[in-house]
Chains A and B, each alone.
Chain A
């Protein structure tokens, strides 16, 4: 825990997360990142914190994030432009594990069980936030729920709902 606190001197978001963890562990309840898409049993949200990307995104940050995305070999699984490869698309506007800043940070920092490596040991939190800024800056392609093929065999048309 200590080494993260030192790193997080320049990382507001994670420091807040850890501070919350420390507070909560006193009461015996580990506090996690909030997933707004989850159903809360009984309609009552569990204690959770909201983590926001502490880095204000601009074109420099996005370009940095793009370079880090390649340098960390993210493109090897999620594809160039993050459009999906053996790993899922990150630019279809949809998320397996939640699309909040906190959920994305957790996915990269701790990894996910179906193959996402934990990058927290090789990437600083600041670098992770830049990658998140890069992913968020990508346009969402016109992949929409309905796909129609014409009666002849050509390129399928995308149709907006």
Chain B
């Protein structure tokens, strides 16, 4: 599955590559995907086949790892409506595929989920799940819990009415649709659940009028599953529009974690990280499920690095907040009140059309960490490993009108580097105590996922095109290799048919960096832009590209 296991740990039990020998890593194979655009997500290895989904037009490659040069077994080239390119807020990315029941299942950008026979490459089913006319696109990686395929849309910048759907694994039929706001009947919610809130129809009462109908709350990140509790966990994205004055109220359940039953979608509990979001702090980042001793008690928790700069440790049975500490530079809030679960705001950083240009908000709306950059967890070190961004912003909101199928944003938000000047850091986090254990500063924001192994090596990539290994215990840099384009994907570790351990990763800058970096693009002579003023050197080190790399000893 996309994040290795149900718990989304991205922990590999392989230990041939160690801190002692990682310096000897070398590239053993590479492949151009033939596609530009942000190569987010990760390859998927099932048995002796590696599957790769490209950004739009969402080609699926199946590589035979048993033969020299890893030739293709097949490739699947779906028909994808290019109109989707204008509805994807932030580049035409895809976050990967999931394997279940002999099928490779992934989303096409234009609002379809497809299941492809993992052996033959033939299409088994294809289901329309999202409506592009409403601004919905579908770059997220589907998740499978039991016999349900769980999917959600992007479109927080298009005023969508956010949802998740449960599809039948065998047929692709949509069995349930659960909205993230609105009346309980549409949220598939029963009142009285959750640690902090018990009111009925909270998805209506925390909005003004019917603003919930176009209030965003997309589901474009990662999903995890506790089979014992029979709960799936996922984050929702920002409320729309960015201008807070068009949506008074807490706007539940935007910027929240929701726990639902996979069978019927029933909402069991929810917790909102950033009520009445003023800064585009989506909460689509992964919810990593671990058992941790917190305050002297062994707790079943989920750990989440939010765009708002706080790392949260939450009891995953009830939604009770246990730990919330900043992992990045934060100015919008002073702290999170643990008993109420609410942030204590610095109200001078609250935005809105009547408040003019609000200066010095940290993190920027790229997030203290991007949800596109999934973290990893090692049970050996007990630490979480995450990319972070050290960017701040000014935020000038403006009134905006929703026109279905066009952006619904209403803000101008220039960025600048935070304290220290380094725009990124890759760090190790102790989620029981809420503190950083070590960090590696990077010149540019760190936008890659990570994988950590039983050999106590952690891997990540940088926007300027380096793929790196570090000692998971100490943070000591062990090895790096220039992969040709900035890394916005997530590395994986797998055992090849030759029983050797390999590390695979995509190169291919894009995603938000397609928009932000300005001049890393060379394929369109009619689209020439100056470099980003806050990162003018980035294009010196990278241009767009799409490559799959495999490294080994």
A residues near B408, Cβ cutoff 8 Å: 73, 76
Q: B515, A88: Cβ atoms under 8 Å?
A: no
Question: Distance (Å) between the CB of B396 and the closest chain A CB?
Answer: 10
Of the residues A72, A87, A143, A153, contact of B528 by C-beta under 8 Å: A143
Q: Report if A7 contacts B (CB, 8 A).
A: no
- A86 and B401 CA atoms in complex are apart in Å by 19
Interface readout for A56-95 with B: 1 if CB under 8 Å, 0 if not? 0000000000000011110111001001111111001011
Interface residues on A, range: 35 or more
- A96 and B82 CA atoms in complex are apart in Å by 15
Chain B residues 326 to 361 lying within 8 A of chain A, measured CB to CB, are none
Q: Report if A147 contacts B (CB, 8 A).
A: yes
Interface residues on B, range: 35 or more
Q: B406, A72: Cβ atoms under 8 Å?
A: yes
B residues near A114, Cβ cutoff 8 Å: 82-83, 85-86
Chain A residues 145 to 161 lying within 8 A of chain B, measured CB to CB, are 147, 149, 153-156, 158
B residues near A87, Cβ cutoff 8 Å: 86
Interface readout for B70-89 with A: 1 if CB under 8 Å, 0 if not? 00000000000011111111
- A12 and B42 CA atoms in complex are apart in Å by 54
Question: Distance (Å) between the CB of A28 and the closest chain B CB?
Answer: 30
Given contacts A85-B515, A86-B91, A89-B527, contact A73 B406 (CB under 8 A): yes
A residues near B406, Cβ cutoff 8 Å: 72-73, 76-77, 117
B residues near A143, Cβ cutoff 8 Å: 528-530
Of the residues B82, B84, B86, B519, contact of A147 by C-beta under 8 Å: B519
Q: Report if B412 contacts A (CB, 8 A).
A: yes
Q: A149, B540: Cβ atoms under 8 Å?
A: yes
A residues near B83, Cβ cutoff 8 Å: 113-115
A residues near B86, Cβ cutoff 8 Å: 77, 86-87, 114-117
- A71 and B409 CA atoms in complex are apart in Å by 11
Taking each of B82, B83, B398, B409, which has the highest tally of chain A beta carbons within 10 Å of its own beta carbon?
B83
B residues near A96, Cβ cutoff 8 Å: 524, 526-527
Q: Report if A122 contacts B (CB, 8 A).
A: yes
Q: Report if A43 contacts B (CB, 8 A).
A: no
Q: Report if A141 contacts B (CB, 8 A).
A: yes
B residues near A147, Cβ cutoff 8 Å: 519, 539
- A72 and B401 CA atoms in complex are apart in Å by 8
Chain A residues 118 to 135 lying within 8 A of chain B, measured CB to CB, are 122
Q: B528, A92: Cβ atoms under 8 Å?
A: yes
- A155 and B84 CA atoms in complex are apart in Å by 34
Given contacts A85-B515, A153-B540, A156-B540, contact A115 B412 (CB under 8 A): no
- A83 and B524 CA atoms in complex are apart in Å by 15
- A23 and B17 CA atoms in complex are apart in Å by 74
Of the residues B89, B403, B524, B539, contact of A88 by C-beta under 8 Å: B524
Closest to A87 in B: B86
Of the residues B85, B90, B530, contact of A158 by C-beta under 8 Å: B530
Q: A88, B405: Cβ atoms under 8 Å?
A: no
Closest to B527 in A: A88
Of the residues B85, B409, B524, contact of A115 by C-beta under 8 Å: B85
Question: Distance (Å) between the CB of B225 and the closest chain A CB?
Answer: 32
Q: Report if B400 contacts A (CB, 8 A).
A: yes
B residues near A154, Cβ cutoff 8 Å: 536-537
Question: Distance (Å) between the CB of A135 and the closest chain B CB?
Answer: 14
B residues near A158, Cβ cutoff 8 Å: 530
B residues near A80, Cβ cutoff 8 Å: 412
Q: A83, B529: Cβ atoms under 8 Å?
A: yes
Q: A94, B82: Cβ atoms under 8 Å?
A: no
Given contacts A92-B528, A149-B540, contact A117 B82 (CB under 8 A): no
- A71 and B537 CA atoms in complex are apart in Å by 34
Of the residues A77, A84, A117, contact of B529 by C-beta under 8 Å: A84
- A105 and B403 CA atoms in complex are apart in Å by 19
Given contacts A113-B83, A115-B84, contact A86 B524 (CB under 8 A): no
Q: Report if B382 contacts A (CB, 8 A).
A: no
Q: B519, A95: Cβ atoms under 8 Å?
A: no
A residues near B157, Cβ cutoff 8 Å: 76
Taking each of A73, A83, A92, A158, which has the highest tally of chain B beta carbons within 10 Å of its own beta carbon?
A73
- A117 and B528 CA atoms in complex are apart in Å by 22
Chain B residues 75 to 134 lying within 8 A of chain A, measured CB to CB, are 82-91
Chain B residues 497 to 526 lying within 8 A of chain A, measured CB to CB, are 514-515, 519, 524-526
B residues near A95, Cβ cutoff 8 Å: 526
Question: Distance (Å) between the CB of B473 and the closest chain A CB?
Answer: 32
Closest to B540 in A: A149
Q: B537, A156: Cβ atoms under 8 Å?
A: yes
Interface readout for B144-183 with A: 1 if CB under 8 Å, 0 if not? 0000000000000100000000000000000000000000
Q: Report if B531 contacts A (CB, 8 A).
A: yes
- A89 and B540 CA atoms in complex are apart in Å by 21
Given contacts A76-B407, A84-B529, A86-B91, contact A71 B401 (CB under 8 A): yes
B residues near A77, Cβ cutoff 8 Å: 86, 406-407
B residues near A83, Cβ cutoff 8 Å: 529-530
Could you show 25 A-B contacts with beta carbons less than 8 Å apart? A73-B401, A73-B407, A76-B408, A77-B407, A83-B529, A84-B527, A85-B515, A86-B88, A86-B89, A86-B90, A86-B515, A88-B526, A89-B528, A94-B525, A94-B528, A95-B526, A96-B524, A114-B86, A115-B84, A117-B86, A143-B529, A149-B537, A149-B540, A156-B537, A156-B539
Q: A96-B527, A154-B537 are in contact. List 9 more A-B contacts (CB 8 A).
A: A73-B403, A75-B407, A76-B409, A89-B529, A114-B86, A115-B84, A116-B86, A117-B405, A158-B530
Give me the 7 closest cross-chain CB pairs, A-B, nearest first.
Answer: A115-B86, A76-B407, A88-B527, A115-B85, A73-B406, A94-B526, A96-B526
- A-to-B contact residues, CB < 8 Å: 70-73, 75-77, 80, 83-89, 92, 94-96, 113-117, 122, 141-143, 147, 149, 153-156, 158
